């Protein structure tokens, strides 16, 4: 199995199980109207400080990549070690909230 086939199978499995990559922050870049411009990912170490640091890196890349990005309209989610979405991070990085269990 080559790398592309392996990644496709990993993505299919993630959709079936509701999990994704472990210990990552996903920044969904949106404009002022809420239109999704793209997604940025940064890895974290599982600590609150690591999650905030990863969110800051993803945010910097968001503003470098998308001139029309809105900080307030762009969501920040962090996954846990199993790859499940676990935390939401506020746009100013001051609050990390645990998501409700599915």
**pTM value surpassing 0.85:** no
| Domain range annotation of the chain | 3-98
Residues 15-55 have pLDDT tens digits of 556 567 899 999 999 999 999 999 999 999 999 999 999 99
Using CA atoms of 19, 25, 28, 31 in order, give the dihedral in degrees to the nearest 10: 170
Residues 62-96 have pLDDT tens digits of 999 999 999 999 999 999 999 999 999 999 999 99
pLDDT band, very low/low/confident/very high, at 2 (cuts 50, 70, 90)? low
- Give 3-43 as a DSSP string: HHHHHHHHHHHHHHHT--SSSEEEEEEE-TT--EEEEEEEE
């Amino acid at each position: 199995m080559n790398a592309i086939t392996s990644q496709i199978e990993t993505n299919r499995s993630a959709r079936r199980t509701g999990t994704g990559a472990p210990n990552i922050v996903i920044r969904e870049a949106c404009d002022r109207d809420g239109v999704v411009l793209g997604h940025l990912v940064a890895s974290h170490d599982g600590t609150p400080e690591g999650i905030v640091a990863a969110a800051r890196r993803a945010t910097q890349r968001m503003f470098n990549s998308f001139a029309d990005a809105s900080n307030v309209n762009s969501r920040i989610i962090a996954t846990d070690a199993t790859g499940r979405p676990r935390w939401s991070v506020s746009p100013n990085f001051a609050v990390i909230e645990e998501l409700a269990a599915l």
